Amino acid sequence: MPSPQLVLVTGSAGNVGQTVFHGLLPHFALRAFDRVPTPGATDQHLGDLADRAAVDRAVAGMDTVIHLGGCPRMEADFMGDLIRPNVEGLWHMLDAARLAGVKRFIFASSTNVAFGATGLPQLTPGTVHVFNPYGATKALGENLGRWFHDTYGMEFLAVRIGYFRGIYNDPALREAWLHRIWLGPRDCAEYFRLAVVAPRFGYGVAYACSRCPENYLDLTSARELIGYEPAETVPDAP
Ligand SMILES: NC(=O)c1ccc[n+]([C@@H]2O[C@H](COP(=O)([O-])OP(=O)(O)OC[C@H]3O[C@@H](n4cnc5c(N)ncnc54)[C@H](O)[C@@H]3O)[C@@H](O)[C@H]2O)c1
């Protein structure tokens, strides 16, 4: 039997992170990295993304990195909230990963890379119109990932995650626009599992959502690159 893939999940104690970590635990040999403990993780590194030595230790020996750690807030202040985790930390993760020989880097991007393009019937992976400084840090990640792939051959997938809370009874789902980008917990875990096991795809950008009205997020590249097909349907407004 082949030995299991070694996968590092950053941000593993967070909202998306715990879903991905526990969803992938039966499939791979996982390591958790976060600044706070990840429940249920046996191999875990506590540290800050802006601490290069901690990042170097975390990526050592890994085949694949799923990079979810960072500041996820749309209203975040660039200098105060984003620079260290989403810019410095992002660089450390990418650079440490390629030096450690990581083969595939899966990056939590966001629809905030594209939300500035109001009035479009659908957002495609080619849509880049940042909505806020947070979205700009995700666009940076997508572009740095392209450069790391072109320069060093490290595979890179930017996953533009829709709206994820990991629970069904979510009062925020009263807001109609969230229904167009909702990602359910089972689809979320399966999406990242597929991103790890998919045959070589090189570089890609893909949205991640469940079955939502209007197909506002174009899932074509998610289907083509990793074979993702949503199984959950966005729940009715609570
Ligand atoms: N939840 C969503 O709807 C959504 C949508 C699009 C993109 N994303 C992206 O997915 C990722 C996870 O989002 P989330 O909703 O789980 O957020 P979250 O805040 O629940 O989780 C983020 C995790 O990263 C860790 N972290 C933050 N800064 C760190 C640092 N400097 N060093 C080490 N660890 C640090 C936190 O401790 C936390 O556990 C983020 O990159 C976010 O931008 C989330």
Q: Is residue 233 part of a domain?
A: no
Q: Is residue 215 part of a domain?
A: yes
Residue 85 sits at φ, ψ, to 5 deg, of -75, -45
* CA torsion, ordered 203, 205, 209, 212, to nearest 10 deg: -130
- CA 86/CA 149 separation, integer angstroms: 19
Which of 161, 180, 192 should be mutated for ligand 1, with most atoms under 8 A from CB? 161
Residue having the nearest C-alpha atom to atom 32 of ligand 1: 48
Residue 16 C-alpha to ligand 1 middle, in angstroms?
7
- Residue closest to 67 by CA, chosen among 22, 115, 24, 34: 34
Q: Is residue 234 part of a domain?
A: no
Q: Is residue 82 part of a domain?
A: yes
pLDDT in tens, 190-209: 999 999 999 999 999 999 99
Q: Is residue 236 part of a domain?
A: no
Q: Which domain covers residue 38, as residue numbers?
A: 6-226
Q: Is residue 130 part of a domain?
A: yes
Q: Which residues line ligand 1 (CB under 6 A)?
A: 11, 13-17, 34-36, 48-50, 68-72, 84-85, 89, 108, 110, 161, 163-164
Residue 212 C-alpha to ligand 1 middle, in angstroms?
23
Residue 70 C-alpha to ligand 1 middle, in angstroms?
5
pLDDT in tens, 52-95: 999 999 999 999 999 999 999 999 999 999 999 999 999 999 99
Residue 121 C-alpha to ligand 1 middle, in angstroms?
28
Q: Is residue 237 part of a domain?
A: no
Q: Is residue 238 part of a domain?
A: no
- CA 136/CA 133 separation, integer angstroms: 5
Q: What is the pLDDT of residue 169?
A: 74
What pTM was estimated for this model as a whole? 0.98
Residue 1 C-alpha to ligand 1 middle, in angstroms?
34
pLDDT in tens, 130-183: 999 999 999 999 999 999 999 999 999 999 999 999 877 788 888 888 999 999
Task: Quote the number of domains for the chain.
Answer: 1
Which CATH number does the domain housing residue 173 bear? Answer: 3.40.50.720
